[in-house]
C-alpha cells in the first residue's frame, strides 16, 4: 500500500486494495455486533416482559439492515456516505429501549428469583 486511496477503484483483486485496512469489513462486523446486542437485550427482556421483549427484538433486524447499507460500497471507490441518519437511528433506538427498560424496571413486577 504505497498510494493512499484515491478516486478510481483499484482493478486488482488484492483485498487490501479494495478495502484498505479492512475498514469496511470491520465496520460491517461492528454493525453486526451492535444488532446482536439489541437481540441480547431483547432476549433478556423476553424473560421479564414478553411484549416488550418482542418489541426490542424487532429492533435488531432493523439495525442489521442499516449496517448492510454501507456494505456494498468500497471505500476506494469513493465513499463513505456515512449516514448521520443511521447513527442517529441507533442513538434514538437505545434511548427508546432504555426508557422501555426503565418503565419495566420501575413498574413491572419482578421475576422472583429468576437468577438463583
Partner 1 sequence: MGERPTEPCGRAGESFHLALPARRLPKAKGRTGNGSMSWSKRMAELLPGSITRDSGGTEPDPRFTFANERTFLAWSRTALALVVAGLGIVQLLPPFPRVPAGRHLLGIPLIVLGAVLAVAAYVEWGRSQRALRRGEPLPHSILPWILAATVTAIAVIAAAVVLVSALR
What track of x and - describes contact with partner 1 for positions 21 through 60 (by CB under 8 A)?
Answer: x-xx-xx--xx-xx--xx-xx--xx-xx------------
Q: For residue 78, what are the CA distances in angstroms to 1, 8, 52, 86? A: 17, 8, 41, 19
Among 7, 11, 12, 72, binds partner 1 (CB under 8 A): 7
Residue 76 sits in the site that holds partner 1 (CB under 8 A)? yes
Q: Are 76 and 9 in contact (CB under 8 A)?
A: yes
Query: For 49-116, where are the alpha helices, taking DSSP H only?
Result: 50-68, 84-107
Name the residue among 89, 70, 79 with its Cα closest to residue 28: 70
Spatial CB neighbours of 101, under 8 Å, sequence gap ≥ 6: 41, 45, 52
Residue 4 sits in the site that holds partner 1 (CB under 8 A)? yes
- Least distance (Å) from partner 1 to the CB of residue 14? 16
Question: Which residues bind to partner 1, rule: CB under 8 A?
Answer: 4-5, 7, 20-21, 23-24, 26-27, 30-31, 33-34, 37-38, 40-41, 44-45, 47-48, 75-76, 78-85, 87-88, 90-91, 94-95, 97-99, 101-102, 104-106, 108, 110-116
Amino acid at each position: 500500500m504505497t498510494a493512499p486511496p484515491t478516486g478510481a477503484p483499484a482493478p486488482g483483486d488484492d483485498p487490501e486494495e479494495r478495502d484498505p485496512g479492512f475498514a469496511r469489513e470491520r465496520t460491517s462486523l461492528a454493525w453486526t455486533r451492535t444488532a446482536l446486542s439489541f437481540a441480547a437485550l431483547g432476549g433478556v427482556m423476553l424473560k421479564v416482559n414478553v411484549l416488550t421483549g418482542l418489541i426490542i427484538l424487532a429492533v435488531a433486524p432493523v439495525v442489521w439492515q442499516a449496517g448492510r447499507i454501507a456494505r456494498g460500497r468500497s471505500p476506494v471507490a469513493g465513499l463513505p456516505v456515512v449516514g448521520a441518519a443511521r447513527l442517529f437511528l441507533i442513538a434514538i433506538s437505545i434511548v427508546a429501549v432504555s426508557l422501555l427498560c426503565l418503565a419495566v424496571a420501575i413498574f413491572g413486577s419482578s421475576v422472583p428469583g429468576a437468577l438463583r
